[in-house]
Amino acid sequence: MVIDTSALLAVFFQEKAGPWVKEQLEKYRADLRMSTVNLTEALILIRGRQPQMFEPIQEEILESSIRFVPPTIRQAQIAAQARLQFPINLGDCFAYALAKEEDCPILTIDPDFKKTDATVLIP
């Protein structure tokens, strides 16, 4: 299961979908992965919106069961094609590319992923 930035942020920003995302993270605990591009995006947004909580949140994320995956050249190619083909942003392109390369679904709350050919788990 690839974690999209939107899903992770829903938990830490206590958004409406946060409890649902937490359930999915627990359910798929042994099989979670995230592109380091999406990790970067999440850390930037967390620092910007919750600077006083940044260090403990970052520590919680990094010590979780999530496997962080640096982008490969193949993922860069898939992400570039996705950006041209679908209405998704750069971070989403790397979540999509990781999911395609590792043949697994994307955990997200971003409805833009429904417009792609990826398998998505969305509330």
Q: What is the pLDDT of residues 79-95, one digit of tens each?
A: 999 999 998 999 999 99
Tens digit of pLDDT for each residue in 20-59? 999 999 999 999 999 999 999 999 999 999 999 999 999 9
Q: Which two tokens stand for residue 6?
A: 């939107």
Beta carbons of 42 and 61 less than 8 angstroms apart: yes
Check if the beta carbon of residue 21 is closer than 8 Å to that of residue 107: yes
- What pLDDT, on a 0 to 100 scale, did the predictor assign at position 88? 96
Residue-wise DSSP of 26-60:
HHTGGG-EEEHHHHHHHHHHHHHH-GGGHHHHHHH
The structural domains of the chain, ordered by start, are: 2-121 (3.40.50.1010)
